[in-house]
Chains A and B, each alone.
Chain A
Amino acid sequence: GDSVTQMEGPVTLSEEAFLTINCTYTATGYPSLFWYVQYPGEGLQLLLKATKADDKGSNKGFEATYRKETTSFHLEKGSVQVSDSAVYFCALSDGGATNKLIFGTGTLLAVQP
């Protein structure tokens, strides 16, 4: 079945460092791809999405490009802030009638001042 694999954490960075969190997927169809973020004590929030190959999703300085040839959707940010500390989840939706999401295991990002 469809699945998502993302790099294990925790990822610890200093403020203003460059961030990459790797995500690859396996899907039989043409999924939409997402990054969700979970801040401490809060619910999951959609960070960005891409619905077809070569699309780039972006939000709050984060970017991810849908790469069909490498089945990847890596999350990047040029300069992280302490407030970016959270758990980041890569996910896919097969676009079927249910539109349910299949999540990766999550990557904890800790940004130190």
Chain B
Amino acid sequence: DTGVSQNPRHKITKRGQNVTFRCDPISEHNRLYWYRQTLGQGPEFLTYFQNEAQLEKSRLLSDRFSAERPKGSFSTLEIQRTEQGDSAMYLCASSQTEGGEKLFFGSGTQLSVL
């Protein structure tokens, strides 16, 4: 069990640029979640995958955001035409279907949009 891995740890970009983050969940976990956390707030749910299927998306996930999980393994979160309001920590978590209430979180990707 190597834990949930997220890359990069930090990303600085200019407004209007596209960015992509990667999450590698724990290998046997079929559930994968993306959350966003801003300073002084708790994580907010963005989207959820069961294997390769994206089954739920939050209203927070605007059209500029897209997430994929090809082959039900790693996942990517892309933000197009970034805005300063996108600056946040993006967290990935995974779990098994059984005992799925215990989520394992990665250390996150800190995005700064200048």
Q: Which residues of A contact B (CB under 8 A)?
A: 4, 32, 34, 36, 41-46, 49, 51, 89, 91, 93, 95, 97-106
Q: A43-B104, A100-B45 are in contact. List 17 more A-B contacts (CB 8 A).
A: A34-B101, A43-B3, A43-B91, A43-B105, A43-B106, A43-B108, A44-B43, A44-B103, A46-B103, A49-B102, A51-B101, A93-B101, A99-B100, A100-B33, A101-B43, A105-B41, A105-B42
Q: Could you tell me the distance between the alpha carbons of A14 and B52 in the complex, rounded to whole angstroms?
A: 48
A98 touches B101 (CB 8 A): no
- Number of contacting residues on B, CB 8 A? 25
> A97 — which chain B residues lie within 8 A by C-beta?
55
A42 touches B42 (CB 8 A): no
B42 touches A43 (CB 8 A): no
A106 touches B107 (CB 8 A): no
Given A44-B105, A46-B103, verify A99-B31 contact (CB < 8 Å): yes
CB contacts under 8 Å to A, within B35-76, are: 40-45, 48, 55-56
Q: Could you tell me the distance between the alpha carbons of A105 and B42 in the complex, rounded to whole angstroms?
A: 4
